[in-house]
Structure 1
Amino acid sequence: MKKYLLSVLVFAFLVACGDDGSSNPVVAENSSSSEQEDLSTVSSSSVASSQSELASCSSIQESSSQSKEASSSSDAQSPVSSFVQESDEKSSSSVLSSSSEVVESSSSLDKTSSSSRSNETIHKDTRDGRVYRVVLIGEMVWMAENLNYETQNSYCAYSSPDSCAKYGRLYTWADAVGKTEEDCGAGHDCGMKKNDYAPGICPMGSHIPTQKEWYALMEAIGGQNLSAVTKLKATAGWADDANGSDDYGYSVYPEGMWFGDTDVFHKGEMAAFWASTEYSADMANSVKIYKNDIMAGPENKSFGMNVRCVLD
């Protein structure tokens, strides 16, 4: 009989946990009085347990519902999606920061550049306010115009200011390296036979290139040959249709060379530049760019040549 009553209670418990919401146990109508007592006894002893189990069942259902909601919320913001979102936010922040740096860099470039060439900017001579284009070739930044800073021993071709404005000035070697003729002019050895640093008459922050730096330029453009020299020459001004392609914006014009008291020679055919490296008491190293060739070698210190500076 007790087994029967326990079965009834289990059935009632299952009904209570079911979907129909029923919580009243089913009891047989034709039970005897003893059975009623047994039922009463069992029921009274089991009511608390049944109520506790019903509460537990309700708790389980609530917990299950909360679990589903939590699972749904977790799907909306899973660890993977959270990582991706965080990464995206970091990436976005990085892009904004990078963009800001680019803008700042671009702003700085705008202050110093007037060209669309990616390798070009400008350098200002604070002594007279002139601004010179400079270009990156290899690992060095070279002045892309001839120096036009007036000194006591500098010279304009044909004594023409227009020539100086277009081609720069011609300097003796002593003048170019910032020395007097008495100390370093023709006939005077001033101990500059090594590839020493020499600011000379270049603007602050630049210097006269050494012979070694001239060779580095030649190596960067492909050597001492027609193909290489074409990359340095300007696209106009050369005689016999020997204009260059000016690949680097170096823009070499053929001003020629000044021989002391005489006028300029080889105009239209050659450009000549001083190096800071002394060769002897009478001579210093130089570089000459002809229509079809580049030559490095010594020349008389009293000759007048152009100056191209290199940034420090």
Structure 2
Amino acid sequence: MKKIILMFILLLCYTSVYSQNHVKIIKGSESVFSHTSDVDSITFHSFTCGDKVLYGGEVYPTVLIGSQCWFARNLNIGTRINGSQNAADNGIIEKYCNGDNENNCNTYGGLYQWNEAMQYVTTSGAKGICPTGWHIPTIAEITTLSNTAGGVSTGGNALKAIGQGVYQSPSQNGVGTNTSGFSALLGGYRQPYVAYYGNIGANAYFLSSSQINSTFTNYMNLQFNYSNITLSLIEKDYGFSVRCVKD
């Protein structure tokens, strides 16, 4: 009897661990189990904003902010390359990790050059490296997000996650409240030309899909010690964070 109980417990433990790392895929009358790392993305026909999205082996929470549905976490997909390299149009999604440290990608998400994030198309609102049904936000969509959060003068703290930012004075209060649910982390950036990483814990930079010209694109910046939101332009070769917004 003891052996039977022990075997049952071992089977139960194995099944529990197995089910956490595998998904059952049903197609017609056939069904197979696949490891989550082998699944590119899962789209649920009855998706409701607030559900989680499995993409590239990572789980992304989603949040409804105004009328927009956003990933509530920075994208972390692709193969890491060193800061001294430029991403290439080679069919492989390539990312930077601040400090060339994979742990920073696990925490803050990857940093992507604009062309890589867009997968080498220039259409504003392109899917890019986002999963099917999602896209790289346009500057108009980012502006809407900013306005919903409270405007460019004071909305930054509402976008920052709890624990991000500091209070220095009444005029320099960058403490994140995350009242929007956007949960922005101050993941810094990758600078081209000198293979320099900077501003981790100080700034969050988010790419838009709206280019200015062949060299520059729009982006959003949140600072650790201010509540404002900066919408500006930057060279496409910089490495910035990426959020996806629902089509």
TM-score category, normalised to shorter length: 0.5 to 0.7
Structure possessing the higher relative contact order (Cα contacts under 8 Å, 6 or more residues apart): 2
Aligned-partner residue type, residue 145 of structure 2: L
Aligned-partner residue type, residue 122 of structure 1: K
Larger helix fraction of residues: 1
Deviations 1:213-247 (A, max 9, x none): 00111111121023x11111111143557331111
Where 1:170 maps in the other structure, the secondary structure is coil
Note if contact 2:117-2:128 (Cα within 8 Å) is conserved in structure 1. yes
Where does 1:1-312 land on structure 2 (aligned, <5 Å)?
120-125=50-55, 128-151=56-79, 152-179=93-120, 190=122, 192=123, 196-226=124-154, 228-239=155-166, 242-260=174-192, 261-291=194-224, 292=226, 293-312=228-247
Percent identity over the alignment is: 31
Structure 2, unaligned stretches of length 5 or more? 1-43, 80-92, 169-173
**Bigger radius of gyration among the two:** 1
User: In angstroms, what is the RMSD of aligned CA positions?
Assistant: 2.2
Shift of 1:132: 0.2
Distance 1:268 1:239 in 2: 10
Distance 1:121 1:245 in 2: 22
Aligned-partner residue type, residue 231 of structure 1: A
Q: Name the counterpart of 1:81.
A: none
Shift of 1:121: 2.5
Note if contact 2:164-2:176 (Cα within 8 Å) is conserved in structure 1. no
Deviations 1:180-211 (A, max 9, x none): xxxx7xxxxx5x4xxx3300001122100001
Distance 2:187 2:58 in 1: 20
Larger strand fraction of residues: 2
Shift of 1:280: 1.2
Q: Which runs of 4+ in 1 moved over 6 A?
A: none
* TM-score (ref. length: structure 2): 0.68
Aligned-partner residue type, residue 304 of structure 1: G
